[in-house]
Amino acid sequence: MARLNQPDQLTGSIPAPLAEPIEKQPLPRLAPSPRFLLLAHPNRWCVSGGKLIPLLKRFSLEPGVGGVDKAGNYHNAIAQQEARGWTLIPEAVDGPGTSYLRVDKVQNGHRFRTRWEVCYNGSTRIGSKTEEYAEWACSLVERGIIRPAPVYAIEGMIERLETSIANLANKVHAVPSLQIKIDAQEADLLVLRAALAEIEGELQPTQGAAPAALPEPDPVDLRATELHSSHKKAQLVELADQLGLSTKGTAKTIAQRIAEHELGSEDGEE
Amino acid sequence: MADTLYADLADSRLPAILGQELMLSRQDRMVILNHPALFYAGDVTNSGSTVIKQSELDFMAAHELAAVADGAAVTPTTLTDTSYNVTVARRAKSYAPTDLARLTDSYGALDPQKFAEDATLSAGMTLTSLIAQLMGGFSNVFGTSGSDLTLQDFEDAVTSLEIANVEGPYLSILAARQWGDMRDAIRTATGTVAFDPASPEMIRMRGTGYKGSIYGVDVFVSNKVSTANAGADFAGGVFGRGAVLWADASVPTDPSVIGVNAGKVLLEYDRNALSAVTNFVSNYYLGVAEGDDARGAAIITDA
């Protein structure tokens, strides 16, 4: 039987309490995506959230893409984009310390997104705060960061939507659910027509200059051509002979000689 | 007499045995490396720069003959050129299995040959991924935000390339959602659609992302296609030769390198004896860039 309180007996220490079980959140089931910047182009517009908004492009800042160099320097790449007509929307466009980007940890890395996109842990779904985004995108025009949509871009969109609505209308009797699409596109069409009416007065299409007048044809050449086409060579030789002109050369040369003589004598009479 | 239960044989049974075949995880494995619509700008190895400047010249039937009067001097036509830069950068990855992990591998997956195969496929996939990111970046845009992709949208985009004299064949890369909408549109189309679905042979040649040809345009699907309009849409696209340029480099090798030179991808074996770990490191140098913007069209439709 063991004796208590022996000096060599181990008393042990109380172990640290077990940590509260951590509820492990699964990461969003989305692929990693690189950091990006948003760029606007005068040709790219769309209707979203009931507004005409710039259709911004994501310019990837990944080394080796679009001129971003091995160290991730992107300034030259952005300059190349600007030379092609794109306008950079700075990341802190809403003020110092702000960003339109958000980053989430996903399996195998990080996923960059805009702050209006919504990701869910354990899901592949990407949601969107469409109305909020449309407000923000619209404000880029209102704040003067990008120019309003040009007339030609809106007109192109209207033409395409009208074609699309006409095509859908052809099928709606067979597939009644297409009426939902037609209604949505008609609503977009109204937005576009309103936008066009608003800016049409401000932005005029290019007028173009009247081209320079064509040079007056030489009257001698005109008369010579007329003679040549309406007379045979024998007739021209006879006419030249009557006028005391040389009858040598081709029919065209004789006609030229007669025309010069006729117009020369008219000048003399004047 | 008691029955002999499975539980009684715990020392002679295994908790689980491995399946007969190794199953690969769900990933996008679409490689479009050799499609003629992609313009290979070249190899920067020993060139003195990481940037390739691809020139474009206004030549070969770009200018018609002018009407000039007999005896009059013809005004010389000025040849104009432009250029597009492709910057090559390093891409790399490594796996570091321990000896124990490798020696117990009954599938043979952690074998140097398999790592070499993985390196080659991953390099192709990286190129696909980089190109897919460029799809939504063309200034010509077709489709309606928030609406499913229709045949009309696709046809409009292809027509715009034809109007712009873009050289074929055309290649389209769409997000899987967009392709689903397109397939639905083909199914419900009332007229004839010139759709040639991918045959098993074509899929073997072009990868699992190849879906077929519509109006003569090869359609591929990639989940690397980016979103647009704050995630409300996907930004796929269609383009002809010269819209997307790519370039690469060859990794220098010397006798000290232990590994496999798999084309432009170098797979090296880096042994860490102290930790009993072998690093399988692959390096690849490549770059992609948008070339002539007018040779491509973005197709932006509902996500």
List pLDDT tens digits, range A23-80: 677 888 888 889 999 999 999 999 998 899 999 999 999 898 988 888 888 998 999 9
Stretch among A162-171, A184-193, A214-223, B131-140 having the lowest mean pLDDT: A214-223
Peptide bond before residue B169 is cis, with ω within 30 degrees of 0: yes
Q: What is the average pLDDT across B247-273? A: 88
Q: Would the pLDDT of B205 be above 80?
A: no
Chain A residues closer than 8 Å to B148 by CB: 181
Q: What is the pLDDT of residue B141?
A: 94
Identify the pLDDT of residue B121: 86
Q: Which domain holds residue B223?
A: 39-64+79-248+284-302
Q: How far is CA B152 from CA A176, A188, A251, B124, B229, in A?
A: 19, 17, 62, 32, 21
- Inform me whether the pLDDT recorded for A138 exceeds 70: yes
pLDDT at residue A270 tops 60: no
Residue B232 to residue A130, Cβ atoms within 8 A = yes
Query: A170: distance to nearest CA of chain B, Å?
Result: 10
Q: What is the pLDDT of residue B27?
A: 66
Average pLDDT over residues A155-175: 89
Residue A85 touches partner B, C-beta closer than 8 Å: yes
Asked if residue B128 has pLDDT above 60, the reply is: yes
pLDDT at A195 over 70: yes
Judging contacts by C-beta atoms under 8 Å, the chain A residues touching residue B147 are: 181, 184-185
pLDDT at B3: 85
- Please determine, for residue B88, whether its predicted confidence score (pLDDT) is greater than 60: yes
In chain A, the percentage of residues whose pLDDT exceeds 90 is 40
Asked if B223 lies within 8 A of A31 by C-beta distance, the reply is yes
Tell me the pLDDT of chain A averaged across its residues: 86
Residue B20 lies in a domain: no
pLDDT (mean) for A171-176: 85
Q: Is residue B150 part of a domain?
A: yes
In DSSP terms, A101 is beta-bridged to: A114
Say yes or no to pLDDT of B203 above 60. Answer: yes
Residue A1 has pLDDT above 60, yes or no: no
pLDDT at A205: 62
The span from the CA of B48 to the CA of B50, in Å, is 7
The per-residue pLDDT for A12 is 85
A190 touches chain B (CB under 8 A): no
* Alpha helix stretches (DSSP H) within B46-147: 99-103, 112-134
Task: Give strand pairing partners of B247.
Answer: B42, B287
Contact A65 B90 (CB under 8 A): no
Best residue of A43, A48, A52 to probe chain B, by most B CBs closer than 10 Å: A48
Least CB-CB distance to B137: which of A34, A57, A62? Answer: A57
Q: At what angle do helices B151-163 and B176-188 cross, to 10 degrees?
A: 100
In sign, the C-alpha dihedral spanning A75, A76, A81, A87 is positive
What is the percentage of chain B residues whose pLDDT exceeds 90?
52
Contact with chain B for residue A91, Cβ under 8 A: no
Tell me how far apart the alpha carbons of residues B31 and B213 are, in angstroms, rounded to a whole number.
16
Q: Judged by CB atoms within 8 Å, which residues 165-184 of A form the interface with B?
A: 167, 170-171, 174-175, 181, 184
Q: How far is A208 from chain B (nearest CA, A)?
A: 23
Mean pLDDT score, B256-261:
83
Segment B18-34, tens digit of pLDDT: 777 777 766 666 667 67
Q: pLDDT at residue A216 above 60? A: yes
For the cut 70, the answer to whether the pLDDT of residue A259 exceeds it is: yes
Query: Which pTM was predicted?
Result: 0.78
How far apart (Å, rounded) are the C-alpha atoms in residues B156 and B264?
38
Comparison of pLDDT for B204 and B103, the residue scoring more: B103
Phi, psi (rounded to 5 degrees) for A176: -60, -25
pLDDT score of B108: 85
Report CA torsion sign: A141, A146, A151, A156: negative
Nearest CA in chain B to A115: B230
Residue A184: CB atoms within 10 Å: 15
Judged by CB atoms closer than 8 Å, whether chains meet at B231 and A70 is answered as no
Cβ neighbours of residue A172 closer than 8 Å, sequence gap 6 or more: A178, A179, A182
C-beta atoms of A46 and B229 within 8 A: yes
* d(CA B8, nearest CA chain A) in Å: 34
Q: pLDDT tens for residues B142-173?
A: 998 888 998 889 999 999 999 999 988 999 99
pLDDT of residue A230: 82
Q: Please report which helix (H) or strand (E) contains residue A135, including its range.
A: helix A130-142
Identify which of B228, B287, B290 has the shortest CB distance to residue A55: B228
What is the CA B179 to chain-centroid distance, rounded? 16
How far is B111 from chain A, CA to nearest CA, in Å?
22
User: What's the pLDDT score for residue B282?
Assistant: 94
Q: How far apart are CA B294 and CA B290, in angstroms?
A: 10
Note whether A188 contacts B: Cβ–Cβ < 8 A.
Answer: yes
Please tell me the distance from the alpha carbon of residue B142 to that of residue A160, in angstroms, as a whole number.
9
Domain count, chain B: 1
Tell me the average pLDDT across B4-29.
77
Q: What ipTM does the predicted assembly reach? A: 0.81
Residue B271 located in a structural domain: no
Instruction: Measure Cα distances from A155 to A53, A160, A175 in Å.
Output: 15, 9, 29
The pair phi, psi for residue B2, each rounded to 5°, is -80, 150
Look at A128 and B28 and tell me if their CB atoms are within 8 Å.
no
A66 with B134: Cβ contact below 8 A: yes
Task: Flag whether pLDDT at B182 surpasses 70.
Answer: yes
pLDDT score recorded for residue A82: 93
Chain A / chain B CB contacts < 8 angstroms: 142
Q: Say whether residue A73 is in contact with chain B using an 8 A CB cutoff.
A: no
Question: Is A37 touching B (CB cutoff 8 A)?
Answer: no
Average pLDDT, chain B: 89
What are the angstrom distances between the C-alpha of A223 and each of A6, A150, A257, B71?
A: 142, 53, 10, 22
The reported pLDDT for the residue numbered B270 is: 92
B230 vs A63: CB contact, 8 Å cut-off?
Answer: no
Residue B121 forms part of a structural domain:
yes
